[in-house]
Amino acid sequence: MAIRNLSLILLLSCFACFLTAQNFDKVRIKPIKVTEDIYMLVGAGGNIGLFLGAEGTVMIDDQFAPLAPKISAVIDSLADTNIKYLINTHWHGDHTGGNMAFAEKGATIVAHDNVRERLSKQQIRPFGRSTEAAPEMAWPKLTFSESMSVHINGESIQLIHHHNAHTDGDAFVYFPSYNVLHMGDCFFRSRFPYVDVDMGGTPDGIIAAVEAALMISDEDTKIIPGHGDLSDKEDLSTYHQMLMIMRDRIKRELKNGTAMEDLDIAGLSKGFEEWGTGFISADKFVKMLYKFYSEE
Ligand SMILES: [Zn+2]
**Does residue 44 fall inside a structural domain?**
yes
pLDDT at 22: 63
**Does residue 262 fall inside a structural domain?**
no
**Does residue 229 fall inside a structural domain?**
yes
Q: End-to-end CA distance of the chain: give it in Å, rounded.
A: 40
**At 109, which CATH number?**
3.60.15.10
Could you say which residues of the chain have pLDDT below 50?
Answer: 1-21
Residues with CB under 5 A from ligand 1 (ion): 92, 185
What secondary structure letter does DSSP report for 290?
Answer: H
**Does residue 7 fall inside a structural domain?**
no
Q: pLDDT tens digits for 40-85?
A: 999 999 999 999 999 999 999 999 999 999 999 999 999 999 999 9
Cα 23 to ligand 1 centre (Å): 20
pLDDT at 23: 86
pTM for the complete prediction? Answer: 0.92
pLDDT at 139: 98
**Does residue 271 fall inside a structural domain?**
no
Cα 90 to ligand 1 centre (Å): 7
When divided into structural domains, the chain yields a total of 1
* Three-state SS at 261: helix
What is the domain extent for residue 201? Answer: 24-238
pLDDT at 12: 46
Cα 129 to ligand 1 centre (Å): 16
**Does residue 108 fall inside a structural domain?**
yes
Cα 44 to ligand 1 centre (Å): 13
**Does residue 179 fall inside a structural domain?**
yes
Cα 166 to ligand 1 centre (Å): 7
**Does residue 223 fall inside a structural domain?**
yes
CA-wise closest residue to 162 among 93, 226, 248: 226
